[in-house]
Chains A and B, each alone.
Chain A
Amino acid sequence: MDDYGTESDSDYTSYWRDWFISSRGNEYFCEIDEEYLTDRFNLTGLNTEVQYYQYALDLVTDVFDLDCDDEMRETIEKSARHLYGLVHARYIVTTRGLAKMLEKYKKADFGKCPRVMCNSHPLLPMGLSDIPNLKPVKLHCARCEDTYNPKSSRHASIDGAYFGTSFHNILFQVYPALIPAKSAERYVPRVYGFKVHAAAALVRWQNGVRDDMRRRLRKMEVESGFKDGDDDLDEDDDDPEDEEELLQQLAVAEYRGGGAAAVAAITAAATTGGEVQMGSVA
């Protein structure tokens, strides 16, 4: 706010919105057009949501000229930011807003997906609720279709309602060409090269769910969006996996019972890279 006080006096950044989107922590926001802000229709209902609505709007549109004390000014300032956020949620689902956010998405301004298998796919900001002051902003990865917490705490405190629950989905409705290819690639927990039974059983079950979905989509002749062909629908490669798991259970049992000898034998084999064969233990 101090920044604002000094900067608003200078000729360079006389626009409140310029200052707002360029200040630290507000990297997720795009600039709302003057025309959009001045059209009262776009602000329907916000006057009940925002304190000192008129002053806040004046501040956002750079026509604020009320002479007031610092405390009052700070309150209005806060309201202005709240108002900007709420209008922002509406603006980014308009054609111009989508285009602006798309630019930021392409530059990965919202960060990259932390999931290893997503290969740093750019994220999109989203809210878990459209009602303000409920949930902070989350980040959505279009590749794994999951939501993540922002890395930095200065972003974790932004209200999710300033982006809304619909924006990121609308973006891909409007730009379907940008939907990333889906991948069945995933992490499988292993012990000395062998899958862990509990996790592997879940993976098998999930793969079943996925294949059911892909069959369903194929029947309806809808593109599933998976990059790795349809060939793996008929999974017959499950059998060796089961065998592997059994061996893993034995390997762990062996490790617990047999002590260091088994561990070293297995470790040595595992470090050399190949799949562990039981022969190296027995």
Chain B
Amino acid sequence: MSTSSGTPESWISSFCSLLGHEYFAEVSEEFIEDDFNLTGLQNQVAMYKEALEMILDVEPEDDEDDEEEEEEDEEDVSGDARDGMGGRERRHHSRVASDLSVIESSAEMLYGLIHQRFICSRAGIQQMSEKYELGHFGVCPRTNCNQTRTLPVGLSDIPGEDTVKLFCPSCLDVYVPPNSRFQTVDGAFFGRTFGALFLLTFPDYDLSRSGAETAANLGRSADEHGMVNGMYARNIAPGLGRGKIYEPKIYGFRVSEVARSGPRMQWLREKPDDVSLLDEARNFAEEHGADSDDDDESMMNSGRPTARRRPAVNPALRQRQGQNGSPMRVDANGAESEL
């Protein structure tokens, strides 16, 4: 049992304080108690009910004495206590030690899957942002990212496929956590969505974190609060682009691209000097005349001006498009007011 310390601590907080579980947020009990948030998890986790009870530190359901429940809750936070005192429950549910370890691992799986959903909810992502600010998730190992703080992500939403990875918002790449203790943490417990959603939710973070360099970048990339493709221009991969790409040199001479050992991967760290080049929709509109509103929209739909239209969708888009050329702007403002 993870709660063998014997301190009156909830299962959740003891789980989160385990070695290697530093990336986890503490899922609020309200979130777990809302059955709606658990939709579909019954089929994914063995001994679902028992596991859920363990996570919530609830006694297995007892028909007779409801009044005692609170008191038992306190006793039951420790596994030792359960072993010592919980003879009654044992009788009711005929639980044996091997059962307990199965339930324990089920509970961890269930908690992980709930966690994947929780950190994408408003309360959860807020909690993760606090952890982010405290630097709980480590920094990017890439030299040119200048210790940008990373975010834990999974490469799959299905448990058991891959371990947790770290997503660097500065180079938009994923890295293996430096400490091997994280290699036992399932990536699905964080999920594929969290990393990107975090950046969309908190667009105001200064990702580059080093003021001087940001100032140097501002000169060539729009104005300070310029938005491109729904993000602040300064926050689009600040660790990439000219001056942030490694150039192989031998005795001071650059290695030619034509050489067999020449650079082939620089595109991965490339970024246009002027990020507004990436605003494909606006560029297309400018190229094809300002009045071609329709073309603009079909560009958004499929990248080809000849694509079919989506009447049900376009009015909303057009409206946002009209405001500032960025369909994400509305969302960004919403998040700002949250902050």
Contacts and interface: CB of A to CB of B under 8 A. Distances in A.
Interface in B256-276: 257-261, 263-272
B174 A187 contact: yes
Nearest to B155: A116
A14 interface: no
A213 B142 contact: no
B37 interface: yes
Interface residues of B, number: 79
Contacts of A270: 157, 191-193
A145 B264 contact: yes
A205 B279 CA distance: 11
Contacts of B157: 270-271, 273
Contacts of B172: 187, 189, 199, 202-203
A206 B267 contact: yes
Interface string B203-237: 00000000000000000000000001111000011
Interface in A227-258: 238-239, 242-243, 246, 249-250, 252-253, 256
Contact of B258 (A179, A186, A217): A217
Contacts of A128: 143
A227 to B, nearest CB: 11
Contact of A116 (B142, B165, B257, B327): B165
A158 to B, nearest CB: 14
Instruction: Classify the interface of chain A: helix, strand, loop or mixed.
Output: helix
B328 A249 contact: yes
B330 interface: yes
Interface string A115-157: 1110010000000100000000010100111111101000000
Contacts, number: 207
A263 B249 contact: no
Q: Which of A224, A226, A253, A260 has the most CB of B within 10 A?
A: A253
A239 B303 CA distance: 6
Interface in A70-115: 114-115
B258 A169 contact: no
Nearest to B236: A198
Nearest to B233: A198
Interface string B173-213: 11110100000000000011101110110000000000000
A187 B173 contact: yes
A281 to B, nearest CB: 12
A198 B143 contact: no
B303 A238 contact: yes
A172 B263 CA distance: 11
A179 B265 CA distance: 13
Interface in B157-171: 157-158, 165, 167
User: What bracket does the count of chain A residues touching chain B fall in?
Assistant: 35 or more
Contacts of B175: 114-116
Contacts of A168: 248
B19 interface: no
Interface stretch (B4-12, B64-72, B113-121, B129-137): B113-121
A220 interface: yes
Contact of A169 (B36, B120, B240, B248): B248
A197 B155 contact: no
A278 to B, nearest CB: 9
B40 interface: yes
A264 B261 contact: no
Contacts of A172: 261
A205 B283 CA distance: 13
Contacts of B302: 239, 242-243
Contacts of B120: 263, 267
A46 interface: no
A271 B303 CA distance: 29
B47 interface: no
Interface in A212-226: 213, 216-217, 220, 222-226
A148 B267 contact: no
Contacts of A268: 39-40
Contact of A197 (B121, B230, B255, B272): B230
B260 A206 contact: no
Contacts of A210: 267-268
Q: Residue among A115, A116, A189, A270 with the most chain B CB within 10 A?
A: A189
20 contacts: A117-B173, A146-B143, A146-B268, A148-B142, A148-B143, A166-B251, A176-B260, A182-B264, A187-B173, A191-B196, A198-B231, A201-B229, A202-B237, A202-B271, A203-B172, A209-B267, A242-B300, A249-B230, A270-B157, A270-B191
| Among all A-B residue pairs, the 5 with the closest Cβ atoms | A189-B196, A210-B267, A198-B229, A172-B261, A145-B265
Interface of B: 36-37, 39-40, 44, 113, 116-117, 120-121, 141-144, 155, 157-158, 165, 167, 172-176, 178, 191-193, 195-197, 199-200, 228-231, 236-237, 240, 246, 248-252, 255, 257-261, 263-272, 277-280, 300-304, 307, 313, 316, 327-328, 330-331, 334
